[in-house]
């Protein structure tokens, strides 16, 4: 089975790239990425804004929220940018290129318009195979100041870099835009060699006992598997509208998540949160899951599935509003867990021996009880 893909004109052995993060902060981490099996590495971003080179402490937390049976986990972090200046970063690019054979992508975040092409040129001279430009850093000045027009800033930075360097230039987009699709199309028309969708946003968590923000007292980035659906949403509408290949980032934790991203139109995925939580070697688990999927579906070339889900995407006018359904419970399969007991707002569900009996007449066919059943005992049936 062939898992190879092409991204920004670069051939990769498979679609899983190590995203820009503390896990890619130096040449040593680039070596870890190659040894673990990533197809490419995006080095940690170098920041023109000096304060962004210094981390607050503590800066990581796992947030758990929700109610019993429906828990959500968030990786909450405020890790800042690369620890040194541009000269230090160029040396890190050079050392990484000397020590690994996989593509090395530089990552740059500037605050002055004239700095983008300069930083890009230095990274190119240091040997970077490609570069991400990141006006979307959730902690950077460009995102902290709400008066900034990120759409215009990203376009101007891309055009300036494209005039200066020959290596691929890939904007890393933010979700904090009036219309990410419009920005993606404009970046594509301006010559983007790829689009990374979508950078983290910031959030905040409050300790109700101290009545203060946790950790160091301010905003932090937030990520986790919950973020994937918003990425899929924007990629599936962007893919048909652009020529540039798309790299998905945000919420990708498994091989199945990777498959979903390819199906909506991404060529590659970039992972960081799961590397922090599961280690560098987790990529092998993801690749095994992809192999299993390809074998099960009879897929010989992984790139063939890119964008396939978009062909099944319906417009709001095409949604089925006519077919009616009702739920029924297979009593022999039911384990009497009680998960469905309080979810029916139509009063269609009664219980005998802790197992549901569902009224066909009252059931609205919404599908919630079937969705919460952990063993698949509740089925949806079409009303004749």
Measured CA to CA in angstroms, residue 100 lies from 36, 49, 130, 234 at distances of 12, 29, 15, 33
Which one, of 239, 234, 230, lies nearest residue 266 by Cα? 239
Instruction: Identify the pLDDT of residue 68.
Output: 87
Evaluate the omega torsion of the peptide bond into residue 58 and state whether it is cis, within 30 degrees of 0. yes
Distance CA 74, CA 280 (A): 19
Q: Around 95, how many Cα atoms within 13 Å sit in the side-chain half-sphere?
A: 15
Distance CA 224, CA 72 (A): 9
In contact, 124 and 118? CB cutoff 8 Å: no
Distance CA 183, CA 195 (A): 10
- Within 10 A of 291 (CB to CB), how many other CB atoms are there? 16
Distance CA 108, CA 89 (A): 10
Which residues, at least 6 apart from 135, have a Cβ–Cβ distance to it below 8 Å? Answer: 109, 110, 142, 143, 150, 153, 154, 157, 171, 172, 174
Give the DSSP H/E element, type plus range, for residue 95: helix 86-99
Instruction: Identify the pLDDT of residue 43.
Output: 98
In contact, 48 and 112? CB cutoff 8 Å: yes
Q: DSSP letter at 345? A: T
Helix (H, G, I), strand (E, B) or coil at 252: coil
In contact, 223 and 273? CB cutoff 8 Å: yes
Distance CA 357, CA 329 (A): 7
Which residues, at least 6 apart from 68, have a Cβ–Cβ distance to it below 8 Å? Answer: none
Distance CA 256, CA 208 (A): 37
Helix (H, G, I), strand (E, B) or coil at 145: coil
312, 316, 321, 327: CA torsion to nearest 10: 60
In contact, 61 and 214? CB cutoff 8 Å: yes
What does the longest C-alpha to C-alpha distance in the chain come to?
A: 73
Residue 240: φ, ψ to 5°: -70, -15
Distance CA 67, CA 384 (A): 37
Helix (H, G, I), strand (E, B) or coil at 165: coil
Strand-pairing partners, residue 358, are: 349
Domains in the chain, ordered, with CATH? Answer: 5-312 (3.20.20.70), 318-382 (3.30.70.20)
164, 169, 174, 177: CA torsion to nearest 10: 60
Q: What's the predicted TM-score (pTM) here?
A: 0.95
Tokens for 235, please give them.
Answer: 């990629």
Helix (H, G, I), strand (E, B) or coil at 314: coil
List, as one string, the DSSP characters of 263-301.
HHT-SEEEE-HHHHHH-TTHHHHHHHHHHHHHHHHT-SB
Instruction: Identify the pLDDT of residue 352.
Output: 85
Instruction: Identify the pLDDT of residue 303.
Output: 98
In contact, 311 and 353? CB cutoff 8 Å: no
Instruction: Identify the pLDDT of residue 354.
Output: 86
Instruction: Identify the pLDDT of residue 146.
Output: 85
Residue 334: φ, ψ to 5°: -65, 135
Q: What is the pLDDT along the chain (384 residues), one digit of tens a residue?
A: 999 999 999 999 999 999 999 999 999 999 999 999 999 999 999 999 999 999 999 999 999 999 988 889 999 999 999 999 999 999 999 999 999 999 999 999 999 999 999 999 999 999 999 999 999 999 999 999 888 999 999 999 999 999 999 999 999 999 999 999 999 999 999 999 999 999 999 999 999 999 999 998 999 999 999 999 999 999 999 999 999 999 999 999 999 999 999 999 999 999 999 999 999 999 999 999 999 999 999 999 999 999 999 999 999 999 999 999 999 999 999 999 989 989 999 999 999 888 999 999 999 999 999 999 999 999 999 998
């Amino acid at each position: 089975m062939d898992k190879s893909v092409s991204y920004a004109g670069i051939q990769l052995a498979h679609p899983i790239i190590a995203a820009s993060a503390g896990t890619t902060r130096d040449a040593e981490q680039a070596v870890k990425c190659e040894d673990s099996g990533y197809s490419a590495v995006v080095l940690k971003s170098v920041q023109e804004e000096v304060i962004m080179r210094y981390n607050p402490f503590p800066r990581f937390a796992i947030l758990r929220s929700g109610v019993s049976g429906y828990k959500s986990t968030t990786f909450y972090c405020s890790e800042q940018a690369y620890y040194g200046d541009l000269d230090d970063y160029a040396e890190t690019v050079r050392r990484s290129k000397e020590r690994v054979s996989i593509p090395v992508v530089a990552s740059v975040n500037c605050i002055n318009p004239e700095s983008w092409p300069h930083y890009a040129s230095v990274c190119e001279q240091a040997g970077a195979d490609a570069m991400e430009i990141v006006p979307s850093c959730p902690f950077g000045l460009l995102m902290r100041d709400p008066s900034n027009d990120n759409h215009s800033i990203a376009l101007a930075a891309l055009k300036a870099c494209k005039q200066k360097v020959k290596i691929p230039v890939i904007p890393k987009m933010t979700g904090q835009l009036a219309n990410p699709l419009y920005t993606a199309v404009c970046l594509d028309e301006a010559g983007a060699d790829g689009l990374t969708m979508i950078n983290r946003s910031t959030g905040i968590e409050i300790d109700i006992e101290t009545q203060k923000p946790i950790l160091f007292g301010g905003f932090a980035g937030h990520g986790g598997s919950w973020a994937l659906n918003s990425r899929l949403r924007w990629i599936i509408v962007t893919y048909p509208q652009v020529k540039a290949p798309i790299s998905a980032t945000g919420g990708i934790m498994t091989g199945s998540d990777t498959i979903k991203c390819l199906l909506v139109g991404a060529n590659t995925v970039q992972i960081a949160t799961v590397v922090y939580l599961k280690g560098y070697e987790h990529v092998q688990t993801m690749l095994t899951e992809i192999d299993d999927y390809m074998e099960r579906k009879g897929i010989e070339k992984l790139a063939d599935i890119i964008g396939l889900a978009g062909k099944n995407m319906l417009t709001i006018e095409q949604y089925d509003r006519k077919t009616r359904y009702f739920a029924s419970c297979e009593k022999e399969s039911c384990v009497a867990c009680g998960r469905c007991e309080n979810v029916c707002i139509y009063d269609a569900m009664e219980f005998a021996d802790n197992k549901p009996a569902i009224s066909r007449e009252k059931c609205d066919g919404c599908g919630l009880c079937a969705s919460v059943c952990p063993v698949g005992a509740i089925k949806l049936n079409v009303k004749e």
